[in-house]
Amino acid sequence: MDEATASNIIRWYEGLEEEVVEFLRYVPPQNQNMNVWSPRLATVIVEACGLIDSLFRYISPAKVTIHGKKKKRDKLNILDYGELHSSNLQLPAQKIILLISPPSYRNPFGIWSKQGNRSFKTPSWWTINNDLKHQRIDNFCKATMDRAIDALAGALLIISKVPELLPATLRHGWLDLGGLNPEYLLETLQKGREGRTLETPLFALWLGYWELPKDIKDFSPLRCHGSKRLLSFFGKF
């Protein structure tokens, strides 16, 4: 993946997040408002899932064998991606902080936890994506704020798992250097020797080797090398 393509992927995501941020200016994202739907959010969900699908395909082998059946990369679906990448990318365990008061965790691939030998299940927001792709007008009411946020969180998580995109996140201001040399930071992040919090206007995602606390009230922005903005948002170190 070249530098221009990486930046275009980040811009793709940023455009979708900007749509949601603008929507939230008029509809506070709390309580029953999380079930508010809009045709604009339908577009966000479908585009975010398209981004996820594109990146999953990019990191998948050209040919794979799943449950004894051979498949080409362009024939893979979301459940195939779960089989291929859920464990090695630790997707079910990844929590994303929604930077809206009060802050909360989003766990877009949490349904894939503890699958064992059972078949993977489709995340609810992905099912809604399929409904919207095939019969959008009939399914507008499923395009809720809650699902749009989960789809965006899923897209951000997969972006963070593609090593070629890490330099682009730095160029777009998603990573705070904290006084470190950019080349050193990128190298140590890719090797798992350094932790940093990746931040967008709507989310914070910890890129590190320890798990976030179960209760978000115990989250420490300073321990996770968050920016001054993140410390101010939580009002603590």
Residue 21, C-beta contacts closer than 8 angstroms, at least 6 positions apart:
201, 202
SS (H, E, C) 92-153: CCCCEEECCCCCEEECCCHHHCCCCCCCCCCCHHHHHHHHHHHCCHHHHHHCEHHHHHHHHH
Q: Would you state the pLDDT for residue 177? A: 81
Decide if 103 contacts 92 (C-beta within 8 A): no
Q: Would you state the pLDDT for residue 117? A: 56
Q: Would you state the pLDDT for residue 162? A: 95
> What's the average pLDDT block by block, 10 residues per block, for the chain (237 residues)?
95 98 92 94 98 97 90 93 92 94 94 73 96 95 97 98 94 86 83 85 92 93 91 92
Q: Would you state the pLDDT for residue 49? A: 98
H-assigned helices in 135-227 = 145-160, 166-171, 182-190
Dihedral of alpha carbons 203, 208, 213, 214, sign: positive
Q: Would you state the pLDDT for residue 25? A: 92
In angstroms, the CA 41 to CA 74 distance is: 27
234-to-80, 181, 203, 228 alpha-carbon distances in Å: 38, 27, 13, 10
Name the token pair of 200.
């967008």
DSSP track, 48-94: HHHHHHHHHHHHS-SEEEETTEEEEGGG--HHHHHHHHTTTTTTTT-
Q: Would you state the pLDDT for residue 118? A: 63
